[in-house]
Amino acid sequence: MRDTNGHYQLIDRFVSDIKQGKMRDSYTIATATVELLKNIITHAEWKTAKELLSIIKEGGRSLSNSLPLHASVDNMVRRILKIIREEYISAQQNKQEEVDPQESLHKIVTSEGDDDDYSKHIPQLKSAILEHISEFQVELETSADNIAQQASEHIHSNEIIMTLGKSNAVQAFLKKAAAYRKFEVIVAECAPFCHGHELALSLGKSKIQTTVITDSAIFAIMSRVNKVIIGTHTVMANGGLRALCGSHTVALAAKHFSVPVIVLAPMYKLSPKYLCSYDQDAFNSFVSPEGVLSYADGAILSKTHVFNPVFDYVPPDLVTLFISNTGGHSPSYIYRLLSELYHQDDNEK
């Protein structure tokens, strides 16, 4: 029934490319995941939506187990599963307008699952699913531009903006705002990786007045700042963030001085997962501590344990506003967005 060898070879190659660092940023990984799943849908042997859901879930479990830290992979699997369900129901009803992506809250709460088991054969289902996925790919391609277009609404003249490290979304957002406003940017360097220097260099080339500060100066400078604008790796189901290490420090300092924290997060970064106290290993990643404490300090190293985490967890009460490609949202609204993006039956694949 299934082209097991074919699509598992594609999955293995995809996982290998990510682990070897050939794909690094979330956008590239998300678009590659959608293309991979589209390929599987096109070439795998299936006749009903039930069989296809099973194939995609099986592949999704394999991807999730191999890449636990890349939430965008998991998110795209769930998004494709939702598209399959929508197209099946649409074909059943034969009326596109009867499929409401924004289900009522009452329906979400009282629903105990689908009455239909997706087992009816529908000849035109594959073409409808592939067409819907193509539309979704266009949405992914335009998500960064849609976020940047909102820059002039949130950044005003003569403001001082603080950010952390380097985020492609923040970089595009600030450059877009610079076309309409004159403002100053303070970039925390985000040691030991110091990617903040790369962002500052890029902004400087765009004639944006930029200052790089050490991470230890964040609290001291925060009283002068009007807004904090940061990117994130993942938005958790409760509105919390898995963001670059140092983000929690910035958010805490911002709260102390009542400075709004704006997070740029395209919709593909929204995850239905929560951070559990017993699940820290799957939440974070640790890299070489050489940047924190040099291997040359052998006498000290023998007496210490040095950790260099990649991510911070930022609780939702420290976030003022999310800006996605569909507009601005408060952290408390994330649950609603998740109900529109993913089907409740796919939250645990």
Q: How confident is the prediction along the chain (349 residues), in pLDDT tens digits per residue?
A: 344 456 778 899 999 999 888 888 899 999 999 999 999 999 888 889 999 999 999 999 999 889 888 899 999 999 999 999 999 998 887 644 444 555 555 555 554 444 567 888 888 899 999 999 999 999 999 999 999 999 999 999 999 999 999 999 999 999 999 999 999 999 999 988 889 999 999 999 999 999 999 999 999 999 999 999 999 999 999 999 999 999 999 999 999 999 999 999 999 999 998 876 555 556 777 877 777 777 767 777 778 888 888 889 999 999 999 999 999 999 999 999 999 999 988 877 5
As a whole number of angstroms, the distance between CA 188 and CA 213 comes to 5
- Other CB atoms within a 10 A radius of the CB of residue 98 amount to 10
The one-letter amino acid code at 25 reads D
The token pair that represents 247 in the structure block: 């983000």
Inter-helix orientation angle 125-148/168-178, to 10°: 50
As a whole number of angstroms, the distance between CA 248 and CA 319 comes to 10
Query: Does the fold of domain 149-341 match that of domain 4-143?
Result: no
Q: pTM for the complete prediction?
A: 0.87
CATH architecture of 4-143: Up-down Bundle (1.20)
Q: Residue 228's beta-bridge partner residues?
A: 162, 261
Q: How far is CA 209 from CA 187, 191, 311, in A?
A: 11, 21, 28
Bond preceding residue 266 cis, omega within 30 of 0 = no
Which class is 149-341 in CATH? alpha beta
Judge residue 337's burial from the number of C-beta atoms within 10 Å of its C-beta, 0-12 exposed, 13-18 middle, 19 or more buried. Answer: middle
Length of the chain in terms of residues written: 349
Does residue 301 contact residue 243 with C-beta atoms inside 8 Å? no
Would you list the domain boundaries of the chain? 4-143, 149-341
